[in-house]
Amino acid sequence: MYCVRKITEDLYWAGGNDHRLALFENIHPIPRGVSYNSYVLLDQKAVLFDTVDWSICRQFLENIEAVLNDRNLDYMVINHVEPDHAACIEEIILRYPDAKIICTEKAFMFMHQFGFPIDDKAIKVKEGDTMSFGKHKVAFVSAPMVHWPEAMVSYDTTNGVLFSADAFGSFGALDGKLFNDEVNFDRDWIDDARRYYTNIVGKYGPHVQALLKKASNLDIKFICPLHGPVWRNDFVYLLDKYDKWSRYEPEEKGVMIVYATMYGNTESAASDLATRLVKKGMTNVVMYDVSKTHVSYLISETFKYSHVVLASVTYNLKIYPPMLNYIMDMKALNLQKRIFAIIENGSWAPQAGKLMRELLDEMKEMTILDSDVTVSSAMKEDNVDSMEAIANSIVDSI
């Protein structure tokens, strides 16, 4: 059975949800599922904006058929070729062989690489090109590295609809609620939106900034991303989050303590610090066990908070592997502008502190507070002064 929603008088959401997929990109857990959004414009010409992941292809085809209602499909605009959106292009070509494909030169090349038969169908567009489909004139805006190099966004100049590709998307299935004002975004969605942005697009902050600059010149009435809710109001809220994330500015002054513990002793030291911070009035403190928290959540939280404490046991004379994985992911995603404090633990040769410091030193605009704490096996009275000093340094820097 088809399942579609009307966005404007002639624009339809024709995507779908996947609750069965456990790992997005086979890496990131999505316990709330994910939506793959696709849109159909019914003007003098019928235009499809992007397709969906293969997992929901059948639902998608039923939706397209229902919206077209015996019309032919004239155009397919491909804003992004990653297979979670492009997997069904070939299926659409088979069913609607007359449809032309509008895309960037690079998207054309990628579709070729994926083996789609598009040679006689492609209309290549570049920044600033426009196409009229009847009453709607759509402008194409390049958006390289948001999230792949071929990406573009499409802006309907007639009704202010921005088809924003991966930008402004979120993990989480829609479950019938399509618009941002049909959900409590700040309560129920923001953590998944941040986790999606930071892990998928987080590395490309300057490119996102470039897109935000272009978007600021548009009179946007709707933002239609490829994942998550469609936005029809409260744009300032969303744009502000994107601006902060893409400039690597924290959302909140607060302390995130990430600890790597084998038998609970490093956790105990981390708890001691958390308690000291709270007693000094810094109550915005969160703690995460690096072994129990998927790194995508850690990355998301690291983008959120201003201060990060890394507390790690030494393991084979190195950083505990899950902690190393977290720091390397932070580095890969180009995270910057955070204030760090370090706690290390080791029973015979503590090394983790020095090694973590070296890795953080290789990252941009990271401040490491001077006073490390070195715990020998378990925190004792002789660690109290240094723990108190680290707590004071954190509070002072906030």
Binding site for ligand FEO (CB under 6 A): 80, 82, 84-85, 147-148, 166, 226-227
* CB nearer ligand FEO, residue 29 or residue 160: 29
Mark out the alpha helices in 139-258 (DSSP H runs). 190-196, 205-215, 235-247
| Identity of the residue, 54 or 288, whose beta carbon is nearer to ligand FEO in the bound complex | 54
Q: How far is the CB of 37 from ligand FEO (least distance, A)?
A: 9
What SS3 string covers 198-232? HHHHHHHHHHHHHHHHHHCCCCCCEEEECCCCEEC
What angle, 0 to 180 degrees and rounded to 10, lies between the N-to-C axes of helices 321-332 and 352-361?
A: 10
Residue type, 181: D
CA–chain centroid gap for 235, Å, is 17
Q: Which helix (H) or strand (E) holds 85?
A: helix 83-86
Nearest distance from residue 265's CB to ligand FEO, in Å?
42
C-alpha span between 52 and 38 (Å, rounded): 7
Sequence-distant (6+) residues with CB within 8 A of 237 are 185, 186
Name the helix (H) or strand (E) containing 306.
strand 305-315
- Nearest-approach distance from CB 50 to ligand FEO, in angstroms: 9
SS3 content of the chain, % helix, strand, coil (to 5): 35, 25, 35
**DSSP of 4-52:** -EEEETTEEE--EEESS-SEETTTEE-TT-EEE--EEEESSSEEEE---
Q: How far is the CB of 34 from ligand FEO (least distance, A)?
A: 9
* Nearer Cβ to ligand FEO (78/122): 78
For ligand FEO, which is the closer residue by CB, 85 or 304?
A: 85
Return the number of the residue (45 or 85) whose C-beta is nearest ligand FEO: 85
Residue 231 or 259 with smaller CB distance to ligand FEO: 231
Tell me the β-bridge partners of 256: 286, 308
User: What is the Cα–Cα distance from 21 to 34, expressed in whole angstroms?
Assistant: 8
CB nearer to ligand FEO: pick between 84 and 192: 84
The one-letter amino acid code at 235 reads F
Tell me whether residue 101 or residue 277 sits nearer to ligand FEO (CB atom). 101
* Residue with smallest beta-carbon separation from ligand FEO: 82
For ligand FEO, the closer of residues 77 and 355 by Cβ is 77
Which CB sits closer to ligand FEO, 215 or 270?
215
Contact in structure between 215 and 207 (CB atoms under 8 Å): no
Give whole-number Cα distances, 276 to 259, 283, 378, 391, in Å. Answer: 16, 10, 17, 6
Q: Are 357 and 350 in contact (CB under 8 A)?
A: no
Are 37 and 224 in contact by the 8 Å Cβ rule? The answer is yes
